[in-house]
Amino acid sequence: MPVIIKGKKFYRTAEVCQMVGISRSTLFRWLRKGTFEDVEKVDRRGWRLFTKKDIKRLTVEANKVRPNISRGRIKGESENQPE
């Protein structure tokens, strides 16, 4: 449930992770690694307060698709063979 502070709506970590479809562990890992830039606001306890803009940024990050660079070729497989 969002919290209203000075007329502005904020969301807390657990509900944002649920909305975006990631675990809290994933969010905290992304924050540690710098994959996702931390939010600007925290409450008096130091808990993160997410805005709609933060949620949109997190959704974009959660839905990124990248090539699997760790997938190696099978020994003897030609570069020209279809996959």
pLDDT tens digits, one per residue of 43-71: 999 999 999 999 999 999 999 988 888 87
pLDDT above 80 for 79: no
Q: Which fold has domain 3-62?
A: Multidrug-efflux Transporter Regulator; Chain: A; Domain 2 (1.10.1660)
Mean pLDDT in residue range 69-80: 65
Residue-range domain boundaries for the chain: 3-62
pLDDT of residue 68: 87
CA 33 to each of CA 44, 60, 63: distance values in angstroms, whole numbers, following the listed order: 25, 17, 17
At 72, list the tokens. 């190696």
Q: Report pTM.
A: 0.75
Q: Which residue, 26, 20, 25, 28, is CA-closest to 56?
A: 20
